[in-house]
């Protein structure tokens, strides 16, 4: 005839609805795995009435999981094995819970780090764009504020005769269009369709007044350009 479970007062605890292998029984096994205890010690530590705990102890004693000696309860080898498996199961469960939390923490850290990097990157990009726009705006403003080269050199051109002024204005037009500060003699000849004697006379006059320089390039020919003094005036224009 099979043994029946111990009689338990139903009003004492909800544990009475469970089988003897309940959370309470597992808790008792874990406590006894730590050290032998009296029934009253188990009851006080777990917060249950002594007679309720005693009924469980008696039942599992008959099942061979524990025995009583000198008023204290001890686990049998079978009880030790069961208690160890309960602890391992609980530890594994706790480990999995902690692992999930740990991964969440790392995920938040990585996400936070990425967001921070993205914010810094976006901020740098915004600053770069603003800096680029500002530089372009300043460049346009500076260009728009620059005076016409002919105006910048008006104090010089006023002192020149008509031929010298024509040559100077031709060079200034080239400068405005291409930013070039010199031309070659053949370009001037093509423009004015003038004889070399007249052209050299005018150029010599501008050279004497330190407005132009003349240089004979052995490979490219005779070159005419603005003097350093005129270049400085154009740069500061």
Give the tens place of pLDDT for each residue, 72-86: 999 999 989 988 888
pLDDT, position 121: 59
**CA–CA gap between residue 56 and residue 63 (Å, rounded):** 11
CA atoms within 13 A on the CB side of 34: 10
14-75 matches 149-235 in fold: yes
Q: Which CATH architecture has domain 14-75?
A: Orthogonal Bundle (1.10)
**CA–CA gap between residue 85 and residue 92 (Å, rounded):** 10
Q: Judge whether 230 and 156 are in contact, CB under 8 Å.
A: yes
**CA–CA gap between residue 146 and residue 235 (Å, rounded):** 10
Where do the domains of the chain lie?
A: 14-75, 95-145, 149-235
Better pLDDT: 65 or 145: 65
Q: Whole-structure pTM over 0.75, yes or no?
A: no
For 6-153, list the strands marked E by DSSP. 66-69, 72-75
* Residues above pLDDT 90, as percent of the chain: 15
**CA–CA gap between residue 237 and residue 228 (Å, rounded):** 14
Q: Which CATH number fits domain 149-235: 3.20.20.100, 1.10.340.30, 3.40.50.300, 1.10.10.10?
A: 1.10.10.10
Torsion of CA 84, 90, 91, 93, to 10 degrees: 150
The answer for residues whose C-beta is within 8 angstroms of residue 193's C-beta and 6 or more apart is: none
Tokens of residue 227, six digits: 């003097």
Q: How confident is the model at residue 110 (pLDDT cuts 50, 70, 90)?
A: low
- If you search the block for the tokens 């200034």, which residue do you land on? 172
Phi and psi angles of residue 213, each rounded to the nearest 5 degrees, phi first: -120, 150
pLDDT, position 107: 74
Burial 193-211 (b: 16+ CB within 10 A, else e): eeeeeebeebbebbeeeeb
Torsion of CA 154, 160, 163, 168, to 10 degrees: -40
């Amino acid at each position: 005839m099979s043994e029946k479970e111990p009689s338990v007062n139903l009003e004492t605890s909800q544990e009475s609805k469970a089988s003897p292998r309940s959370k309470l029984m597992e808790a008792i096994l874990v406590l006894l795995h730590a050290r032998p205890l009296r029934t009253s010690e188990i009851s006080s530590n777990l917060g249950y009435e002594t007679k309720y705990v005693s009924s469980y102890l008696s039942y599992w004693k008959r099942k061979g999981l524990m025995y009583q000696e000198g008023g204290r309860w001890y686990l049998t080898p079978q009880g030790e094995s069961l208690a160890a498996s309960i602890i391992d199961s609980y530890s594994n469960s706790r480990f999995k819970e902690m692992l999930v939390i740990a991964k969440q923490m790392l995920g938040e850290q990585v996400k936070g780090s990425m967001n921070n990097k993205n914010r810094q990157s976006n901020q740098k990009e915004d600053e770069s764009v603003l800096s680029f726009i500002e530089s372009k705006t300043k460049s346009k403003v500076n260009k728009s504020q620059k005076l016409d080269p002919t105006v910048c050199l008006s104090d010089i051109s006023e002192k020149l005769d008509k031929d010298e002024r024509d040559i100077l204005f031709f060079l200034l037009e080239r400068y405005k269009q291409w930013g070039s500060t010199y031309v070659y003699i053949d370009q001037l000849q093509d423009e004015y369709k003038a004889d070399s004697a007249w052209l050299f006379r005018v150029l010599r006059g501008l050279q004497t007044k330190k407005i132009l320089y003349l240089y004979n390039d052995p490979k490219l020919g005779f070159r005419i350009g603005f003097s350093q003094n005129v270049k400085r005036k154009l740069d500061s224009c």
